[in-house]
Amino acid sequence: MNRSTTSVPAQAPKTVRAPEEETIAVIGLGYVGLPVAVGMARHFDSVIGFDIDKEKVATLQKGRDPSGEVDGGVLEDVDLPFTSAVDDLADATFFIVTVPTPIDENNVPDLSSLRAASRSVGRVLQPGSVVVYESTVYPGVTEEVCGPILEEESGLDQGTDFAVGYSPERINPGDEEHTLERIVKVVSSEDEATLDRVAAVYDTVVDAGIHRAPSIRVAEAAKVIENAQRDLNIALMNELALIFDRLNLRTKEVLDAANTKWNFLPFHPGLVGGHCIGVDPYYLTTKAEETGYHPQVILAGRRINDNMGRFVAQKTVKLLIQNSVTINEARVGVLGLTFKEDVDDVRNSRVPEVVEELQEHAITPLVHDPMAAPESVERELGLEVNDLAEFKELDALIYAVPHEAYRHDDVDLPSRVREGGVFIDVKSACDPDALRDDLAYWSL
């Protein structure tokens, strides 16, 4: 049986510490970091949250979460100070790094935030400390990239003076069921004693239990394939949607029939965005290519999913032409700009690609999102949000993200489309039989 060459060694760093003795610092207070910091603060007496964004820290200090993941009342109930000053972390013994790991415009992993966070931690790192990374990375990053930075900044030796670990984040933004406490936590470290220490900290917080991975690289790989698997399953559904569209079949009706079989997997087509599913597979494929292997299945799935936004826009244009609408005069509305329903995060959303494709056909669509802050939409996407009241007498309405706010009866989406207009229901959120007969309905 083959064994990993990076399995946990028998030797251990010198420091052994009980969980209640830890002083915990959480680095990065976004959609993942803040819930982690709050979860830790519920169980530990000494926890501090750090972020380089001074404006975010100031907002958190006032008891408000800019991301909307944590309720203000929860922040008031825990003893959790926030800071943007690295020196305030000098007493920490257990660091948890939860900064973003995006990709660049060429789909290459961008580790700049991870490197910067490691430099910050290294400046205050004391002997006997543990640094656990939660950010999604490819196998090898924690030990080969982060560890040397910590050593350089601190002047300490990894494995002797301090230790590193990896515990992949699994928080799902906007999901009140799959929270930190309710998801099994994978933990790993470079030695057995530190693994015990890391497991003890997380086990104090996570009710669902702990899974000890045999090495850091195994844990890194496990995280990156979780989202690659989901990405590929959705890519299959999207490819089926492309095929069924040519066959004049509604994909949802086909899937409803297929789902009656006990082992058919319940995935659905859609726009795959966000900072996980649409990003993580590229971390694995980049590392694979470094070894001389060119991934085929994973990248094929990525190509399909990356092109679905443009396909939705092109289908809208075709339906408008079939309805004898002059394209450059068409009034088209796009509802929803975030990467999924009921969150305010527009990063890596694929809806802007729908807008871009419409613009390339000389259509200037109206756009609206009840969750995303207009300033975020303008800053991140370069788009101006329209008032929902402007959505009337539309030639086509693209219902891209089915936020709860759109599902209220008083919103009445069909009434915003003119007689004989086009209704694009990207995620099959509507019952077409409940819509007006004069509307040309289409869904993925």
3-state secondary structure of 256: helix
Give the Cα separation of 391 and 357 in Å (integer): 20
Neighbouring-strand partners of residue 187: 212
**Sequence-distant (≥ 6) Cβ neighbours of residue 34 within 8 angstroms:** 26, 49, 60, 65, 67, 69, 70
Give the Cα separation of 357 and 309 in Å (integer): 8
**Sequence-distant (≥ 6) Cβ neighbours of residue 434 within 8 angstroms:** none
| Residues designated catalytic | 276
Helices 147-154 and 112-124: crossing angle, nearest 10°?
A: 40
Nearest to 134 by CA among 96, 171, 101: 96
Q: Which backbone phi and psi does 122 adopt, to 5 degrees?
A: -60, -30
DSSP conformational letter for 215: S
The single residue listed with the structure tokens 């301090």 is 162
Task: Look up residue 103 and give its amino acid.
Answer: I
Task: Look up residue 175 and give its amino acid.
Answer: D
CA atoms within 13 A on the CB side of 196: 11
Give the Cα separation of 381 and 375 in Å (integer): 10
3-state secondary structure of 169: coil
